[in-house]
Structure 1
Amino acid sequence: MLVDPVLYRRMAKYNSWMTEKVYAAADLMSDEDRKADRGAFFRSVHSTLNHILFADRAWMGRFTGRKYEIKGMGVDLFENFDELKAAHFDMCLQISDFAEWLTIDWLAEDLEWTSGQDGIPRSRPRWMLVTHMFNHQTHHRGQVSTLLTQAGHDIGVTDLPFMPDLV
């Protein structure tokens, strides 16, 4: 299957746009409220944002060979919200840079990796795994959006077709 890298450049822009929106709303909460267990899979707004960054680091490490600190599934990378936010925004820039150098040929090749969760070696087409990284972000940002809305903080429009072209 041939996948046009332009799709991933757009998804990287969407990721940056939505990450900014989510953190702008989370900034309106107290640290206690951000870290409160709200019944989500990763409990809180804070821990769900940590999980998104954890997964981005895991996948970007596999794609680029760069070493990232990863503490494990469900373990917060950062307790301090400002440090989490800065690291997440930095990751958005790295993902955007990564998307710029993607090629059809690179995406068509397989990537072999061993899951840190179950230790099983796997091989899948890179296009599928890059798609998964962006899909994973969207899935968990949707959870964060729900938690924020329940706490009285609407992040506004989240639909890809309505993303400002200036992003």
Structure 2
Amino acid sequence: MAKNYLIQIANYNHWADNKIMEWLRQISDEQWEQVIVSSFNSVSQTATHIVSAEKYWVDLWTQIPEPIFLSAQFNGTRDGLIEIWKKSSADISTLVNSFPEGNYSQSIIFKYPRTGRIGQMPFWETVAHVINHSTYHRGQLVTLLRQAGYINLSSIDMATYFQMNKI
């Protein structure tokens, strides 16, 4: 697996996360909690799910003992969640940048949060999974934000990121 590719997609993830966080800071409490039928039934629940997953994987990669899935117990504020997200998103980029390419096949053992089942994948696959997972749910957030009446959105597609960051 090419390290440069993983670095690029981790940096894309960080950029897209930051765009979403900007939007989440602008919505009302009603928009944040409004019940809308989706995988998770509000902007709040969907954002919490993304943050939970990103933080979980960072904790696994940094070998935090018994990492938890944040959404199982998070009772904090929107600002508190955004701060956790900001750190986790930055940590993904930092970890991918600093992880030795020779260790990309290193096995990462993890626990599925809902079932408790144990899984195992090489590091590089976990990175690809985390980015794909976040991208999927950020797309849901865009739809939820529109349905909640927030329209100050812009493209967070990977192509947009790559075009903006051409040297």
Partner of 2:27: 29
Query: TM-score by structure 2 length?
Result: 0.86
Matches within 5 A, 1:1-150: 3-66=1-64, 70=68, 74-75=71-72, 77-150=74-147
Aligned mates of 1:112, 1:119 — CA distance in 2? 12
> How has the CA–CA distance of structure 1 residues 77 and 60 changed in structure 2, closer, same or farther, with 3 Å as cutoff?
same
Tell me, in whole angstroms, the C-alpha distance in 2 between the residues paired with 1:89 and 1:119: 27
The offset of 1:61, in angstroms, is 1.6
Structure 1, residues 51-85: CA drift from partner, whole Å, max 9, x if none?
Answer: 1010112111221113587356x546243111111
Contact preservation (8 Å) 2:3, 2:101: yes
Sort the Cα spacing of 1:76 and 1:152 in 2 relative to 1 into closer, same or farther, 3 A.
farther
Relative to structure 1, the CA distance from residue 104 to residue 48 in structure 2 (aligned partners, 3 Å threshold; closer, same or farther) is same
What letter is aligned with 1:53? V
Q: 1:102 to 1:66 in 2, by over 3 A?
A: same
Does the CA contact (< 8 Å) of 1:48 and 1:140 recur in 2? yes
Structural RMSD (CA): 2.1
Aligned-pair identity (%): 24
Report if the CA contact (8 A) 1:52-1:137 is conserved: yes
Partners of 1:46 and 1:93 in 2: CA distance = 21
Looking at structure 2, the residues matched to 117 and 32 of structure 1 have their Cα atoms a distance apart, in angstroms, of 28
CA distance in 1, matches of 2:62, 2:72: 23
Question: Contact (CA 8 Å) 1:148, 1:154: kept in 2 or not?
Answer: no
My pick for the range that moved more, 132-141 or 95-104, is 95-104
Between structures 1 and 2, the one with greater helix share:
2
Instruction: Please tell me whether the aligned partners of residues 5 and 104 of structure 1 are also in contact (alpha carbons under 8 angstroms).
Output: yes
- Aligned residue number for residue 150 of structure 2: 152
Alignment partner of 1:108: what SS?
coil
Tell me the amino acid that sits aligned with residue 109 of structure 1: Q
Q: Conserved in 1, the CA contact under 8 Å of 2:12 and 2:158? A: yes
